[in-house]
Each structure stands twice: as structure tokens, then as C-alpha cells.
Structure 1
Amino acid sequence: FTYPTTKPNAQEAFIRELNKSGYAGVYYGHGNTHQLAHEGLFYDTNIPSIKNSRRYFFYYFGSCTVGRFDDSDYECIGEQLVRMKGGAIGTMAETAGSSA
């Protein structure tokens, strides 16, 4: 039995829900500054796919370093979502390692 390394249907569904917008969401799971989930639920390169007009959302990420705002060498997912036009009105996320 081989476990799938990516889940494109989950990625599409996640982006679709972000595009509905105007809500608060929560993600708990593995992640880092550029990716949610080992299976590739969401990457920072997916951020341009968010087209929610002015229906901003708030998102909490219970995931390692998704909110690492203190590193000026790059922007983490949490920061990119807030900075993008039509993105998040706010995010809350771990700046370092975390555990559930």
C-alpha cells in the first residue's frame, strides 16, 4: 500500500473555501513558512489563487512557523496572506515550533 504524497483535491477544496471568504478558519497540522501539511494542502505559491474580492477572512494556523513574521529574509504564509490584496484581514500562527 502506498500512501499518496500529495492530495490535489484537498488543495483545491482548501483554496475554494478561502475564496468563499468572509469567515474565520482554523488549521491544525504540520506546516512551515511555505507549506501546510506534508501532502501539500497549501503552498505560499498558491496564494495568488485566492480571489475573494473584498470578503476578507481571519485564519488561525496551529502549525510550526506559519507565522514566522520575525525573519526579514522571506515572508511566511501568514504574512503573505495579510499583505496580499483581497487576502486575510488577519492571521494568528506559531512563529517557531509547536505541538498539538
Structure 2
Amino acid sequence: MDTTTRYHLPTGELVTVTASEGVAYDVPEGAVVLSDAEYAPLLAAAQAAAAAHVTQLEAAQAARGLAVHTALLAAGLPQSVARILSGYTPPGEGDDWPPIIDL
């Protein structure tokens, strides 16, 4: 039978270890054993923080794409080429990708 143990490490990481009966494993130094009731809110908080970080990264990437797209348009490149080079798709125009290039 497998045994699952959850730990909270001093670094803030959450660790779940599932071991088969008779299999020894080393408990990380400074780890605190968590019950399921203690683990669940910590996991939810970690997942929410990760989702917020992804949202920030996506927003920064979109801002960079818009800046590059705008600069390419200002340099005189056609909209379709600027979209390809910048990776930016203006809102509401994502369904017609890839565009027909108007060179």
C-alpha cells in the first residue's frame, strides 16, 4: 500500500511524497509535515500566486508586442507584416490568422 505525505519546506515549496510500503525516502531538512487540511489552503494560495504571475507575464508580453507592432507600422511596414514580425494581434482580429500578406 502506498503512503502519501505532504511537506512544507523552509523555502516555501510544497512537496508531496508518495512511497510504496517498505520504500525508505529522506525527509527534506527543515520540512514540516502537513495534514490534508493544512496542505489544501497552502496549495490553493500557491496556485493563485502562480496564476497571477502568468497573467503578469502575459500582460508584459502583450505590451512588448504592441510596442514592436506600433514601431513597425511607424517604419512603414504593412499591418500584416508588422503582425507577423511582432507577434501582436490587435483585439478582435485573432480569428483571421494567418493574414493574407499585402506586400
Say yes or no: TM over 0.5.
Answer: no
Normalising by structure 2, what TM-score?
0.20
Structure with bigger strand share is: 1
| Max Rg structure | 2
Bigger proportion of residues as helix: 2
